[in-house]
Amino acid sequence: MHEMSIALAVVDQVEEAARSHGATGVRTVRLRIGELAGVVPDALAFSFGLACTGTVVEGAELVTETVPGRARCASCDDEWAVGMPPRLICPVCDRATAELVSGRELLIAAVEWHDDPADPRVREPISQEG
């Protein structure tokens, strides 16, 4: 089960980001997982709970958004939902000229955290702040 490896990579990156922003706790981690990423969200959620133990990420809620697989045909410009199992041959012209538009994402989209008001870094403006 490689979801544990994926979870560790997520925790690692969130920890790094949290540290560089002077955060003292993480409330939510938002992931975007494509249908074709080869990752099972439930297994990942389970592993995530274990992976964040003892880190600044401990106790954070994991929110995953599934990104549907979509493809576009370079010949006829048709765009379709590939489904599962995916159909990557164009349903209109039956040609093998597809490009994948989405579905392979495995991204940490956003992180929500608590700041330590005593940390001077917190007062610096953060450009990506949402």
Partner 1 sequence: MCRVVDLQQAVLAKNDATAEVLRKELAARGTAVVNVLSSPGSGKTALLEGELLLARERGVTAAALTADLATENDAVRLARSGLPVKQVLTDGLCHLEADMLAGHLHGWLAEDTRLVFVENVGNLVCPASYDLGEALRVVLASVTEGEDKPLKYPTAFGLAHLVIVTKTDIAEAVGFDEAAFRANVEQVNPGVDVVLTSARTGAGTGVLLDRALAAAEGTAVHMPVMAQARA
- Chain contacts with partner 1 (rule: CB under 8 A): 1-2, 5-6, 9-10, 13-14, 17, 21, 27, 31-32, 34, 36-39, 71, 84-89, 96, 98-115, 117, 122, 126, 128-130
Task: Give CA separation, 71 vs 44, 78, 87, 94, in Å.
Answer: 26, 8, 9, 13
Report d(CA 113, CA 2) in Å as an integer.
27
**57 binding partner (options partner 1, Zn ion, none; Cβ < 5 to 8 Å by kind):** none
122 touches Zn ion by CB under 5 A: no
Q: Hey, what amino acid is at 111?
A: V
Q: Is 114 annotated as a binding residue?
A: no
**Tokens matching residue 90:** 């164009």
**120 binding partner (options Zn ion, partner 1, none; Cβ < 5 to 8 Å by kind):** none
Rounded least distance, CB 53 to partner 1, Å = 18
Question: Whose Cβ is closer to partner 1: residue 53's or residue 96's?
Answer: 96
**53 binding partner (options Zn ion, partner 1, none; Cβ < 5 to 8 Å by kind):** none
State the residue for tokens 């690692």.
12
DSSP-derived 3-state class of residue 98: strand
Report d(CA 39, CA 74) in Å as an integer.
28
Q: Is 90 annotated as a binding residue?
A: yes
State the residue for tokens 């392979």.
104
Annotated binding site for Ni(2+): 2
